[in-house]
Amino acid sequence: MLEIVLNLLAFYLILVLGAYLRRYLNPGLQKQSGVFLVRYALPMVFFISALRIHDHGLLSVSLLSFLSSLLVFGSIAVLRRGDPDGIALGTMSSWSNNAFLGIPLASILFGSRGTEIASLWASGSITFFSLVSAIFFTERSNGQRGWLRPFLRKIIFPPYIPAFLAGFALSQFGFVPSPVLSSVLWFASQAIFVLSVLYVGSCLKLQGDIFRSKLILHALLFKHALFPVLAGFLLLLDAAVLGAFSEADYPAILFMSVMPVAINVVILFQGRAELQSQAAFSVTVSTLITILMSVAFLAYKVA
């Protein structure tokens, strides 16, 4: 338990360091760091974690994640139909920072099993929001020809999905890394953990009067209340009918449902300055809420 506390403390210190370094970072360097993490570092994390998956029952976690995102997004789309910002609210409320924050935190709190669950959860939500991203991408294309190839390359097939599938396929064929390779992969995953948390910290910012925005308040309410409630409902339904999940995995799964608003949302709203600013605020406040939730969860676990 002391190791968990120390790891969690290190996580928060790295996050704060990233927020502090933000003022000294060149915007171009920050952007390139994000590109490096998305294209190369995070796919390696997905690949490494998928190598450890031998329990086919865990695959249901991806489906649960997909359904949870769909339910939250769909519910808001219905409730806010006719509202031009309805899609934006649905996206902010249901797209979670599962990869940059979810995988490291789940690894700290739940060990290797948590890493597997977090990776599967992330793969389900990423698959769903590839479709959401495609909507925005198609709108921006304005009917221009020649958009299909980049559409398929950048939206439908993000690099971490093939990496995850490759690692999972190797694990099913009985591939076991050698001790040397295991050590290399472990050090690589730790380095990526530090870089990803630093990046998240560098993206956080608080400015302006945040809490006057109903869009942000609603997004935070739906993200940290509606999302875990619906995920919990699906778990109860599974426990009563299907039995696809082990009760021992419930805490890790529920923990993934309270991850903060994804940084990807800020990128998605490029070209709409007001929405992008509000998305950045929601990411910051939502991340702080998740930090408090993880501390509370750790206190509960200790008790």
Mean pLDDT in residue range 61-87: 80
pLDDT higher for 134 or 251? 251
Q: What is the DSSP letter of 53?
A: -
Amino acid at 41: A
**pLDDT for position 143:** 47
Is pTM, for the whole model, over 0.95?
no
Contacts 24+ apart (CB under 8 A), 108-115: 108/4, 108/7, 108/8, 108/11, 109/4, 109/8, 109/252, 109/255, 109/294, 109/297, 109/298, 109/301, 110/251, 110/252, 110/255, 112/52, 113/249, 113/252, 114/252, 114/255, 115/49, 115/52
pLDDT tens per residue across span 173-194: 777 778 888 788 778 877 877 8
For the ranges 46-50, 78-82, 145-149, which has the lowest average pLDDT? 145-149
What residue ranges do the domains of the chain occupy? 2-302
Phi/psi of residue 81, nearest 5 degrees:
-65, 140
Q: Is the pLDDT of residue 152 over 60?
A: no
Q: Is the pLDDT of residue 33 over 70?
A: yes
The Cα 53–Cα 204 span in angstroms is: 33
The Cα 221–Cα 65 span in angstroms is: 19
pLDDT higher for 210 or 295? 295
pLDDT tens per residue across span 229-288: 888 888 888 888 777 777 888 888 888 888 888 877 776 665 566 676 777 778 878 888
Q: Is the pLDDT of residue 88 over 80?
A: no
Q: Both tokens of residue 17?
A: 């360091």
Q: Both tokens of residue 255?
A: 């923990």
* CATH no., domain 2-302: 1.20.1530.10
Mean pLDDT in residue range 144-149: 51
Residues facing residue 261 across a β-bridge = 96
